């Protein structure tokens, strides 16, 4: 069987304020896990736009990406009860930026239990609760000062003109 490999493209906001990082606690098949505000890139949006949208949905705060932090790839394999092995590869675009105001009346996205501010040491001490090893890796890259210009990721105008598939 010849199948095409298609990694899941995700976007993540790495948000630091006063020495603490904003994470979300979310429901997963493995129980409550900690993650950066993150999610899947939607059709018709650039990675930076997707990151701003996901941060808003998961934190109720506006977020403005200012730098590309990095592009990461990771793999998740898990046995689902009564099903075949689930094998997903994630391609993550992580952005650092500015956290804006809370949008009054906005609710946290489905599955997000709460937001939490954690120090780097608290994040490091909670790795067993991380949704992905990229939670820690992105924070460490941020703390090392890794930053790239947003222009490193080019989104052709044809992406915004995306028509539904037949």
| CATH number, residue 119 | 3.90.79.10
Is residue 24 a part of any domain in this protein? Answer: yes
Is residue 158 a part of any domain in this protein? Answer: no
Position 30 scores a pLDDT of 86
26 and 115 Cβ atoms separated by less than 8 Å: no
Is residue 15 a part of any domain in this protein? Answer: yes
Q: How would you write the pLDDT of the chain (166 residues) with one tens digit per residue?
A: 568 888 999 999 999 999 999 999 999 988 999 999 999 999 999 999 999 999 999 999 999 999 999 999 998 877 777 777 778 899 999 999 999 999 999 999 999 999 999 999 999 999 999 999 999 999 999 999 999 999 999 999 999 886 666 5
> Sign of dihedral through CA atoms 130, 7, 65, 27?
negative
Task: Tell me the whole-structure pTM to 2 decimals.
Answer: 0.90
State the Cα–Cα distance between residues 63 and 51, nearest whole angstrom: 8
Query: Residues with Cβ < 8 Å from 53, sequence gap 6 or more?
Result: 42, 45
Collect contacts of 39-42 with beta carbons under 8 A, ≥24 apart.
Answer: 39/10, 39/11, 39/109, 40/8, 40/9, 40/10, 40/11, 41/9, 41/10, 41/11, 41/93
Q: How many domains does the chain have?
A: 1
Alpha helices in the chain (DSSP H): 47-59, 120-125, 134-143
The end-to-end CA distance of the chain, in Å, is 24
Structure tokens at 132: 């992905």
Is residue 162 a part of any domain in this protein? Answer: no
Q: Give me the phi and psi of 87, to 5 degrees please.
A: -135, 105
Is residue 41 a part of any domain in this protein? Answer: yes
Cα 56 to its chain centre, rounded Å, is 12
Position 163 scores a pLDDT of 65
Is residue 132 a part of any domain in this protein? Answer: yes
State the Cα–Cα distance between residues 14 and 138, nearest whole angstrom: 7
Nearest to 23 by CA among 122, 160, 158, 151: 122
Position 77 scores a pLDDT of 79
Position 164 scores a pLDDT of 63
Q: Where in the sequence is the domain holding 32, given as residue range(s)?
A: 8-149
């Amino acid at each position: 069987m010849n199948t095409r490999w298609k990694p899941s493209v995700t976007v993540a906001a790495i948000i630091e304020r006063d020495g603490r990082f904003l994470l979300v606690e979310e429901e997963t098949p493995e129980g409550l896990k900690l993650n950066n505000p993150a999610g899947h890139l939607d059709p018709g949006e650039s990675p930076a736009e997707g990151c701003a949208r996901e941060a808003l949905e998961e934190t109720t705060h506006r977020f403005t990406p200012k730098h590309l932090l990095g592009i990461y790839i990771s793999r998740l394999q898990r046995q689902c009860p009564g099903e075949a092995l689930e094998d997903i590869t994630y391609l993550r675009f992580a952005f650092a930026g500015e956290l804006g105001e809370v949008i009054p009346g906005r609710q946290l996205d489905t599955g997000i239990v709460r937001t939490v501010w954690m120090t780097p040491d608290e994040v490091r001490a909670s790795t067993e609760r991380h949704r992905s090893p990229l939670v820690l890796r992105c924070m460490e890259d941020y703390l090392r000062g890794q930053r790239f210009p947003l222009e490193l990721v080019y989104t052709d105008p044809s992406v915004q003109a995306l028509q539904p598939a037949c």
